[in-house]
Structure 1
Amino acid sequence: MIVRVKAPLRISFCGGGTDVSPYLEQHGGVVLSATINKYAYASLSERPEDGVAIQSLDYDVDARYGVDEVFRTDGELSLVRAVLKRFQLDRGVDIFLHSDAPPGSGLGSSSTMCVAMVALLKKYLGIHLGKYEMAELAYEIERRDLGIKGGKQDQYAAAFGGFNLIEFSAAQTVVNPLRLEDYVVRELEYHLVLCFTGRTRPSEGLIDYQVERYKRAEAGALEALHELKRLTLEMKDALVRGELDRFGRLLHDAFLAKQQMNPRAVPDEINQLYRVARESGALGGKILGAGGGGYLLLFCDFRKKHLVSRALEQAGGKVVDFEFVDHGVQSWFLKLDQGRPPDMTPRALRYARPR
């Protein structure tokens, strides 16, 4: 039996940071995002021997674990092994993983891979998990089981796909799909430039700093988070109305608010790239993810988009083509020996459900 999964990466336009504890529980968060045609991939095939073999192209790791060690979530490939532990998978399998964007890219690649792994085990073991359950389980594995710092938006973006306004509170998460006219989506693509800054950076230190600034009530930290929430709702309004120039200018306002929320999110090198883009005709932009590196998104006058792209490349960036996609995580069987997947055992089902 062979199972394959692909989960789309996302572009977060505004609201990142408001989905991070403790702001989320105390004030509620909101994020505007969309999935793109860049993916995290996972494959699983059965093997006659016990234990699990995992190959990850992104981390250049090829590891084998016996049944007595695969559920230990310390060391390499801890995220993958934490998913296996939740599902109590003790059969002999080979798992192969790769992604279209490296970890630390700002496109949500780590959380998207976690969703891909949850979907992979769900498909293989024959569990019914809805999109909300998959997203929440992936969040729990990352943030609670492993203690990885971060927000809550990426798991939901990967599970649901498309353009969404996602609302977060202590009680629940609500995904609101946006009904955009097709021409608005195509026109938005026509105005956007996605540029790799040439560097990646783990987000954990940046998120720790953001949370500490919030807890210490440092000047501007709370106000900036409130402003990002307000701008997120304005951006949503601009999108559904097809007012794209207004959307581009709001991106610039959000860029400034993010710097106020966390000054370390936009280092000098990225600030310089952003200045180059603005001077060449970009109306606004966004450093994706927690910041510090990864991808920079720019909204441009379509007549100047080629000038912005050329200037970014000359300044050391790398412009990358992309398109928006309207689907979330997808899974399929490549081959079935018995015609249908095996049922999941009650023990594994008990472990896999979100708490």
Structure 2
Amino acid sequence: MSSNMSTSSSSAKPDRIINGIAPIRICDLGGWTDTWFAGHGTIFNIGVYPYVEVQVAVFLHHMREHQITLHAENYGERYVVLPGSIDHVRHPLLEAAINEVPLPDNVALEITIFSDVPAGASTGTSAAVTVALIGALDALTPGRMTPHEIAYAAHRVETQRLGLQSGIQDQLCSAYGGINFIEMFHYPYATVSQMRIPDTIWWELERRLALIFLGRTHSSSAVHEQVIAALEREGDASPRLEALRRCAICARDALYAGDFVALGRAMIDNTETQRALHPALVNADADAVIALAREHGVLGWKVNGAGGEGGSLTLLCGPDASANRALLRDIRRLSPLFQPIPIYLSRMGLRVWTTDGER
């Protein structure tokens, strides 16, 4: 690299900046039924902030030595990504997502990605990252993908480009935001109904929900493969899958009725149905928090995502705000690893906008 190129690269101002943000997902009832082996499914989930943030600084190509530089801010890593490369080594999901979107030849990009949510929290953060990144890169070219199309592009990144197991609900939740009832009529095709509830119920739900990170990165691939193998043998008529589908329907109906007791019961039923898929899907740390939650009269709890080691829990607390704050203090005392994460419900899903790079 010449000194002139080094100077121009370091001092150049971006022509424009594209911002993309997307919410994470909690309280997913009916999870496991949004998969290829389930065939069809029903899922209830909630999009919440803190959101994932993507910022794309756009330069004229001749002003930069490399076309794409990726800054994974949470990891303190900044490195060059080669367009079109199939060797996804350092951050495969991010690199594969970049390759999902055709990029103009006349621009160079500095892509920064950040999230306040701990890695491995089982809150669909990877899906939110992919949705926000694809949404931001899509703004580089004429025409726009719909949120639904972006969700499916993000799903393809995981399943086709990386060959990973992935349901469809996380990407759809990040793209749409809000409270969703998803009906997958034939994998992977689904409709998304965003639940419209009175503000008073929205505000009360937001006040009562708590997200508890269990302090360890979610990692249970071996257990998940065992569950998948068993459910594949049972087929889409599996009674266990059908029980999960019913939990999502019960959650939808309870929330429309403003019945928090019934919503909590649906959350508990879903967690116990997850446990029936494999005992390890509800880990010892989750059980410790659940036991404490019972003592405090919490209405419901849901092991987020597919379950397994690490991850997080969604709690649905009772009406007494002071008692709920006492619960969170006791959870912190239970283990220094346990971390309540402040959340609020997302009114919107993916948002993308562009600003002038000079101002």
TM-score tier by shorter-chain length is: 0.7 to 0.9
The aligned residue for residue 100 of structure 2 is 86
Choose the corresponding residue for 2:27, options 6, 9, 12: 12
Is 1:330 aligned to 2:351, yes or no?
yes
TM-score, normalization by structure 2:
0.86
Per the alignment, in what secondary structure is the counterpart of residue 24 of structure 2?
Answer: strand
Report the secondary structure of 1:124's partner residue: coil
Q: SS at the partner of 1:254?
A: helix
Matched, 1:190 2:207: yes
Q: Do residues 41 (structure 1) and 53 (structure 2) align?
A: yes
Deviations along 1:228-257, whole A, 9 cap, x unmatched? Answer: 111110110010011111111221111111
CA deviation profile, 1:79-130 (whole Å, cap 9, x unmatched):
2222222223254211111112133111100011000111011112233211
Query: 1:285 — aligned with what?
Result: 301
Whether contact under 8 Å (1:10, 1:154) holds in the other structure is: yes
Matched, 1:311 2:330: yes
Q: Identity of counterpart residues, as a percentage?
A: 26
Partner of 1:301: 318
Contact 1:71 / 1:84 at 8 angstroms: preserved in 2? no
Secondary structure of the structure 2 residue equivalent to 1:169: strand
In the alignment, the residues of structure 1 paired with residue 186 and residue 233 of structure 2 have an alpha-carbon distance, to the nearest angstrom, of 21
Q: Following TM superposition, by how much is the alpha carbon of 1:276 offset from its aligned partner in structure 2, in angstroms?
A: 1.5
Counterpart AA for 2:202: V
Match of 1:29 in 2: 41
Residue number in structure 2 paired with 1:239: 255
Change in CA separation of 1:13 and 1:215 when aligned onto 2, cut-off 3 Å: closer
Contact 1:58 1:102 in 2 (8 A): no
Aligned to 2:147: 131
Deviates more, 1:41-50 or 1:29-38: 41-50
Alpha-carbon distance change, 31 to 66 in structure 1, aligned in 2, over 3 angstroms = closer
Answer whether contact 1:12 1:31 (CA < 8 A) is retained: no
Contact 2:155 2:166 in 1 (8 A): no
Could you tell me which residue of structure 2 aligns to residue 348 of structure 1? none
Q: Is the 8 A contact 1:300 1:308 kept in 2?
A: no
SS where residue 48 of structure 2 aligns?
strand
| One-letter amino acid matched to 1:130 | T
TM-score by length of 1: 0.87
CA drift of 1:217 comes to: 4.1
Count of matched residue positions in the alignment of Structure 1 and Structure 2: 330
Cα distance in 2 for partners of 1:59, 1:212 equals 34
More moved, 144-153 vs 297-306: 297-306
SS at match of 1:31: strand
Amino acid of the structure 2 residue aligned with 1:332 = W
Aligned to 1:148: 164
> Paired residue for 1:223?
239
The alignment partner of 1:92 has SS state of strand
* 1:154-202 Cα deviation digits (max 9, x unpaired): 1101111111101113262100111111111111122222211111223
Residues 1:74 and 2:93 aligned together: no
> How many Å separate the matches in 2 of 1:60 and 1:74?
18
Task: Report if the CA contact (8 A) 2:317-2:324 is conserved.
Answer: yes
Q: Aligned match of 1:168 in 184, 189, 196?
A: 184
Q: Say if 1:295 and 1:149 are closer, same or farther in 2 by CA, change over 3 A.
A: same
> Aligned residue for 2:9?
none
Aligned pair in 2 of structure 1 residues 46, 300: CA closer, same or farther (>3 Å)? closer
C-alpha RMSD of matched pairs (Å): 2.0
Instruction: Describe the shift of the 1:308–1:152 C-alpha distance in structure 2 as closer, same or farther (beyond 3 A).
Output: same
Cα distance in 2, alignment partners of residues 240 and 73 from structure 1: 47
Task: Give the drift of 1:66.
Answer: 4.3
Q: 1:214 aligns with which of 212, 231, 234?
A: 231
Tell me the amino acid that sits aligned with residue 230 of structure 2.
R
Tell whether 2:159 aligns with 1:122.
no
Following the alignment from structure 2 to structure 1, what is the Cα–Cα distance between the partners of residues 167 and 220? 11
CA distance in 2, matches of 1:263, 1:83: 34
1:272 to 282, 285, 288: 288
Matched AA of 2:93: L
Per mean C-alpha deviation after superposition, the further-off stretch among 45-54 and 320-329 is 45-54
Q: Retained in 2: the 8 A contact 1:2–1:333?
A: yes
Q: Say if 1:161 and 1:326, in contact at 8 Å, map to a contact too.
A: yes
Within the candidate set 98, 104, 112, 2:114 is matched to 98
